[in-house]
Amino acid sequence: MELRLYDTLSREKRTFVPLDPKNVRMYVCGPTVYDFAHIGNARPVIVFDVLFRLLRHLYGEAHVKYVRNITDVDDKINDRAARDFPGLPLNEAIRKVTEQTGEQFHADVDALGCLRPSVEPRATEHIGEMREIIERLVKGGFAYVAEDHVLFSPQAMNAANSTLPRYGALSKRSLDEMIAGARVDVAPYKRDATDFVLWKPSKPGEPSWPSPAGIAVEGRPGWHVECSAMAWKHLGEHFDIHGGGIDLVFPHHENEVAQTCCAFHRERMANYWMHNGFLQVEGEKMSKSLGNFITIHELLKDWPGEVLRLNMLKTHYRSPIDWTMKSLEESAKTLDDWYRVAADVAPGEPAASVVEPVLDDLNTPLAIAAMHGLRGGDVGALAGSLRLLGFLSESAAQWEGRKQQASGVDAKEVEGLIAERTAARSRKDFKESDRIRDLLAAMGVAIKDSKDGTTWEFSR
Ligand code: AMP
Ligand code: ZN
């Protein structure tokens, strides 16, 4: 069984061949830490967690390195810091915002059953690598200094007579069309409208570092160069997989490729470029700017993280997902059932019927359908398969207990009411026994009478 992955650059599914099977390397663009992450932001985190788990399964845990960065220098962070902590010096306020948001992000994605990446580099800890890349680009003639900025020139890249990739190849855009379509109000320091910022001067009070390329004033990096620097530091000049949401293909990933390939004279940055589709609400991308978002944090108040995870994986990662309440309710029912039948059995090897579709470009909907098929048969294989995909982190009792806790239902109280009902029934006070049954139903507790007595379960 071989792993096949869809590569955005070649626009086809290809067999995955790692550069070094003893050191399989993946980079995924992580969050900008200024606010709670929404459930759309959780999509790449969950999708690439499945891939990380699969790679560990195939190549061994010690042989996979997964890097997901934290962007902790950004205008949105500065704005938030100034707004939330007006009494503090900006740098201190920024540290508070990035620390709090970073911790919240970890709590959220831990609850979604995602393993921590091997390394989570922070942009502010890699300024040296960014400066080095920028220096190389200026020396190589791919970037220039203007009014204390450093700008990358895609036109210089495409004019270079070399084995470099073409600028625009990843996003399938032609540079000529980009030039023709460029807006007129281009910043005056740019030679060409398509040039993008590698480094810019900091405004007073903003975070700043000594600038590269002989610029006298202090400055800060552009967003794209951060990822080139962190990927280089932790994975090298050329690695296996680079991932993120589909909105990052252009300009972010196109620019990452340009920077890395030109700085290191490489034909490629990553061998496979993978992008997840959007999570949508009523046909529109969930996003902060549209205001149609719901945070992971809010959802976790109503749903266990694994329910959100299953709900995400029911759709293939490249297709859009419509996030609906109905689908969440179904996912919750499915997991309740799987916890009941599989959480406490000894896990067997994951079933081939589950692993094969996952190997085929992470076809999780097909894998989930196969798990429904295992439910009535090999529950050991079901347990093993669920664990491979990051489910069943709790015992069946913990799962039940947490659900009751979440609903505010106390098991002792339920048992007490059931005893009262049994007493009412034995004295033939059916009005009272019905009242208690309805009360339990209102608490979300379903009861079942049999000759051996009354059992109950929590039904959402
Ligand atoms: P951002 O905070 O917007 O930079 O996004 C962080 C990550 O979440 C990136 O990989 C984005 O592509 C991804 N992302 C943002 N919104 C959505 C969405 N609605 N659906 C899927 N992925 C998203
Ligand atoms: Zn990135």
> Could you tell me the two tokens for 252?
């972010």
Distance 7 CA to ligand 2 centre (A): 17
* CB of 30 shorter than 6 A to ligand 1: no
For the chain, the first-to-last Cα distance in angstroms comes to: 40
Q: Are 301 and 407 in contact (CB under 8 A)?
A: no
For residue 460, pLDDT beyond 60: no
By CB neighbour count within 10 A (0-12 exposed, 13-18 middle, 19+ buried), where does 139 fall? Answer: exposed
- CATH fold for the domain made of 4-279: Rossmann fold (3.40.50)
**For 20-25, what is the mean pLDDT?**
98
Q: Are 68 and 32 in contact (CB under 8 A)?
A: no
**For 371-390, what is the mean pLDDT?**
97
* CB of 279 shorter than 6 A to ligand 1: yes
* CB of 247 shorter than 6 A to ligand 1: yes
Ligand nearest to the CA of 254: 2
Q: What is the model's pLDDT at position 162?
A: 81
**For 322-346, what is the mean pLDDT?**
96
Specify the residue with its C-alpha closest to ligand 1, atom 9: 245
> Could you tell me the two tokens for 453?
């007595």
Q: What is the model's pLDDT at position 410?
A: 78
By CB neighbour count within 10 A (0-12 exposed, 13-18 middle, 19+ buried), where does 326 fall? Answer: exposed
Q: Residue 220: which residues within 8 A CB-CB, separation 6 or more?
A: 73, 199, 200, 202, 206, 207, 208, 209
Least confident of 175-189, 288-302, 339-353: 175-189
- DSSP-assigned states of every residue in 99-131: HHHHHHHHHHHHHTTPPPPSB--BGGG-HHHHH
Q: What is the model's pLDDT at position 456?
A: 84
Q: 43, 313, 321: which to mutate for ligand 1, most atoms within 8 A of CB?
A: 43
Q: Give residue 183's pLDDT band: very low, low, confident or very high (50, 70, 90).
A: confident
Distance 120 CA to ligand 1 centre (A): 17
CA distance 154 to 169: 12
Q: Are 165 and 156 in contact (CB under 8 A)?
A: no
Q: Give residue 121's pLDDT band: very low, low, confident or very high (50, 70, 90).
A: very high
Residue type, 65: K
- CATH fold for the domain made of 302-399: Four Helix Bundle (Hemerythrin (Met), subunit A) (1.20.120)
**For 154-180, what is the mean pLDDT?**
93
* CB of 286 shorter than 6 A to ligand 1: yes
> Helix, strand, coil proportions of the chain in percent (round to 5)?
45, 15, 35
State the CB neighbour count (10 A cutoff) for residue 174: 13
**For 17-30, what is the mean pLDDT?**
98
CA distance 315 to 192: 41
Residue type, 28: V
Average pLDDT of the residues of the chain: 95
Q: Give residue 442's pLDDT band: very low, low, confident or very high (50, 70, 90).
A: confident
How much of the chain exceeds pLDDT 70, in percent?
Answer: 99
CA distance 385 to 341: 13
- Ligand 1 atom closest to Cα of residue 248: 12
Ligand nearest to the CA of 226: 2
Q: Give residue 56's pLDDT band: very low, low, confident or very high (50, 70, 90).
A: very high
351-368 pLDDT per residue, tens: 999 999 999 999 999 999
> Could you tell me the two tokens for 298?
């809010």
Q: Residue 414: which residues within 8 A CB-CB, separation 6 or more?
A: 440, 443, 445, 456
Q: 247, 286, 295: which to mutate for ligand 1, most atoms within 8 A of CB?
A: 247
**For 105-120, what is the mean pLDDT?**
98
Q: 302-399: same fold as 4-279?
A: no
> Could you tell me the two tokens for 363?
């076809």
Q: What is the DSSP letter of 71?
A: B
- Ligand 1 atom closest to Cα of residue 41: 8
β-bridge mates for residue 140, sequence order: none
Least confident of 53-57, 69-73, 175-179, 406-410: 406-410
204-240 pLDDT per residue, tens: 888 999 999 999 999 999 999 999 999 999 999 999 9
Give the pTM: 0.90
Domain boundaries, the chain: 4-279, 302-399, 409-458
Radius of gyration of the chain (CA): 26
CA distance 275 to 48: 10
Q: What is the model's pLDDT at position 205?
A: 83
* CB of 262 shorter than 6 A to ligand 1: no
Element (H, E) at 47: helix 42-59
β-bridge mates for residue 95, sequence order: none
For residue 295, pLDDT beyond 70: yes
CA distance 112 to 329: 16
Give the number of residues written for the chain. Answer: 460
Ligand nearest to the CA of 275: 1
- How, if at all, do strands 12-15 and 4-7 pair? antiparallel
* CB of 278 shorter than 6 A to ligand 1: yes
Q: What is the model's pLDDT at position 414?
A: 87
Ligand nearest to the CA of 230: 2
For residue 393, pLDDT beyond 60: yes
Query: Tokens 């470029």 belong to which residue?
Result: 273
